Structures are given as C-alpha cells and as structure tokens.
Amino acid sequence: MEYIEQVLKSVKSSNPNETEFYQAVEEVLSSINQYLEINDKYQKNSIVERLVEPERQVIFRVPWLDDLGNVQVNRGFRIEFSSSLGPFKGGLRFHPSVNQSVVKFLGFEQVLKNALTGLPLGGGKGGADFNPKDKSDHEIMRFCQSYMTELFRHIGANTDVPAGDIGVGAREIGYLFGQYKRITNQFSGVLTGKPESLNGSSLRTEATGYGVAYFLSAMLDAKGDSLTGKRCLVSGAGNVALYLMKKLDEYDAVILSCSDSKGTLYSKNGLDVKLVMHLKSERGAELRDYLNEHKDAEFTPVNQYPSDGHQVWRYEADIALPCATQNEITKDDAKALVENRCLTVCEGANMPTTPEAMKIFKEHNVYLGPSKAANAGGVATSQFEMAQNASMQKWQSEQVDEKLQQVMKSIFNTISVTAKQYSNEHDLVLGANIAGFERVADAMLKQGVV
C-alpha cells in the first residue's frame, strides 16, 4: 500500500482543493493496489503517476452578450486527459458547479470508461460554469459561439472530439458545430451528439440511458434474474434518466421515481413514463405537473429532503439508479437503501456514490454496477458516430442499437471476468477499475515515455 499512498499524497498536494478529482483517483488506485503489486512493470514505468496527470489542460475566458446587451463572462475548460488509446473523447458540461476539480474527475473517469468499451478512444472532458437554465435560445447560441471561438484551436476529428453532458444536448452541439464549421471551413466529425440532420448518429440521444438498461439487464441475467416486475428508483429527469426509464418500461420494470433540481416525483404504483417524458420536453412544464393527471403520485420539493441526502432514495424498492450528478447518494441514503433491502445499484450518473456510501454498500454486499462501465453506452455510440462520419455513411437505428447492446454486454463480461480473476465476480467496481486501467496502461507502455 505504501506506493499507492505516496502517489495519492502527491496527487493531493499537486492538486490542492480538488476534492472530486482526488476522490475519483483514490477510488481507482485503492482498488487496483493489489493488481499493481503483482504487475510491477507499471510501477517501474511510473504509469500511475503519468495517468493521473492530464496531457493538456485548457482554461479560457468565454465572454458573451446577453439579451439586454450586457457583457457576461464565464470560465471555459477542456481537459485533454489521455490520448493513449485514441483521440481525446468526452462530453462538455454547462452547469454553475463546473470547476477544474469537477472537469478533472470527469476526465479521469472518462479515460477508464472509454478503455472499457474496447474502442479506439482516449479520454477528456470539458465545460463551463455557465447556467443554461433561464437563458433564451439566442443567449445559448451566443454562449456556444463564444465558447467554440476559443475551443476550435484545440479540437479536431482525430485530435479531440467533444460531446454533450449535463446542460449540453443536441441543440448546444448544433450551435457549437455551426461555429466550428464557420471558423475552420470543415464539415467534419469534430463533435458527436450532433442533430441527425448534421450527420449525428441515430440513437446517440437515447444511448446512455438505453445502455444503462442493457448493462443492468446483463447484471441481473448473470444472477439468473431479470428486470420484469423489478421496482426501480431513478434519480434525475434529464437525458440519461428519461431514456433509461423508457427502456426499463419496455423491460416491464416498475419505475417508482425520478427527480430534478426542484424535487422528487414518486408513485408506488409506478410512473407513467410517457407522461414524464412529455412534461420534460414541454417548455415551462414541471415534474410536479404530473400530479394534475395522477392523484396517486406524490412530489417532495427539494427543501423537504432529509438533511444528508435525497428523498428519492428513501422509498422501498429493488434497484436504485442514480442518474443526476456526482455524490448524490450520501451515507444516510446508502443506509436507507440497505435497510429497505434495495441491494442492487446501477450508476447512470458519473461517480454518483460518495466514498462513505460506497463503504456501506461494500459492507452489505450490494451488487453495484459502476458508472464507468454502466453509462459507457453514450460514449460508445459517439464512437459509432465518429465511424459513420469518417466513412461518410449513415447507419440505421437497428444497427446502432445492436452494436450498443453488444458493447454493453461485452463491458459486463470483461469486468465480471476480471473481478472473478482478482476477487469475486460480484465486485464489478474492482473489475472495472482493473480492466480499464490495464488497457490504458498497456497502450502507454508500448508508446514509450510520452
């Protein structure tokens, strides 16, 4: 352990106050520690020390004009973490909470996630502390244009290929793409998650949520079980949560909840997923409006959440699916889930479980599908978009869906085989960390000291 402790100490001192980044690194390094002891070539070549240091970090000013003609200024980021396996690849997040630590944790996780897909993808992440909520369409467009006016010089179809994340969907990607094309005179695959009319892939919008459902289905299948009739708690009501709910509904699971920054919607009889999707797609509509049509449901506003945690995790269920944001499952949430015998968790959001909650899950042998494996369907489908763009082809949605299912099954198989080899096949967290690390580390070794 001494070696890993030294590396962690150095990560902490060279990245002061970056708590999320440190959390992500600590979680991975503690779980691959024994593996590193058996395979000393990684230590001899300082692979871990290199892996935790991004290849390049760009931080830039994003000035833009609001609708009243006032100049606004935000901070933009693009952290190009690792290109060992392919071009840097990962989403952009527009949210007021975005800072260097958040982007770095997301970038670090992305490197290992992309490695697990088995596809030729490096890892990176970016974003801005811009709040898209309450902004007009024109303000969003002007912000995206200003953001790309700096970002364009750092990205390219074979260099770095951003996509969406929280607050960035097809609309924003469309504006970013338009500005990139205008500056560079190139209609290329420099971004993924593009609207289909701009050469986006079919099913990229649905892919992350569908992928989580396919992964969860593989997890249950391995235990001789299935999703039919399973009571599921979902958090979030954005891109990942909505398409996950849609697919779970097709699998005949019962979706008890979803949530957003205003509160939690719950129905003990199961939510009408079509209505939730409809409300979320309508401008101005809120989750609370669901109660107008279904009196048996309840809505708990955010300020009535328990002090350490979220209402969404306090209901009885079989499976918990966090799909909102990082560290949304606290220690008290984990205790409540375990007390309610909710012993399967599958992570749609990136790093949604706090270290304290993770410890409780481990102690109670909770079957946990880690985000870097379970939510990899989005980035895998982004790679399918890159392949379609590079070959000037358009794949049918059935073909994309089949490939997505294959990749999710293959990720599950890879990490459960790895988990079995180094611990037990139930420990998917360990399996994902070792399998992801091994693929990146071996590619790094072959490239010399770079």
Ligand X SMILES: O=C(O)CCC(=O)C(=O)O
Ligand Y SMILES: NC(=O)C1=CN([C@@H]2O[C@H](COP(=O)(O)OP(=O)(O)OC[C@H]3O[C@@H](n4cnc5c(N)ncnc54)[C@H](O)[C@@H]3O)[C@@H](O)[C@H]2O)C=CC1
Supply the residues annotated as catalytic: 125
> Least distance from C-beta 206 to ligand Y, angstroms?
10
- For residue 378, state whether it binds ligand X (rule: CB under 6 A): yes
- For residue 80, state whether it binds ligand X (rule: CB under 6 A): no
- For residue 163, state whether it binds ligand X (rule: CB under 6 A): yes
Question: Could you say which of 54, 87, 162, 164 contacts ligand Y (CB under 6 A)?
Answer: 164
Question: Could you say which of 249, 260, 385, 427 contacts ligand Y (CB under 6 A)?
Answer: 260
Q: How far apart are the first and last CA of the chain?
A: 26
Angle between helices 137-151 and 170-184 (to 10 degrees): 50
- For residue 346, state whether it binds ligand Y (rule: CB under 6 A): no
Nearest residue to ligand X by CB is 91
By beta-carbon proximity to ligand Y, the closer residue of 47 and 369 is 369
- Chosen from ligand X, ligand Y, none, partner binding at 236 (C-beta under 5 to 8 Å by type): ligand Y
The one segment of 154-162, 320-328, 337-345, 422-430 that binds ligand Y by CB under 6 A: 320-328
Binding map of ligand Y across residues 367-406, x = CB under 6 A, - = no contact: --------x--x----------------------------
- Chosen from ligand Y, ligand X, none, partner binding at 244 (C-beta under 5 to 8 Å by type): none
Burial of 270 (0-12, 13-18, 19+ CB in 10 A): middle
By beta-carbon proximity to ligand Y, the closer residue of 98 and 141 is 98
By beta-carbon proximity to ligand X, the closer residue of 23 and 300 is 23
Nearest residue to ligand Y by CB is 238
- Binding residues (CB under 6 A) for ligand Y: these are 164-167, 208, 236-241, 260-261, 323-325, 348-350, 375, 378
Footprint of ligand X (CB under 6 A): 89-91, 110, 113, 163, 165, 192, 350, 375, 378-379, 382
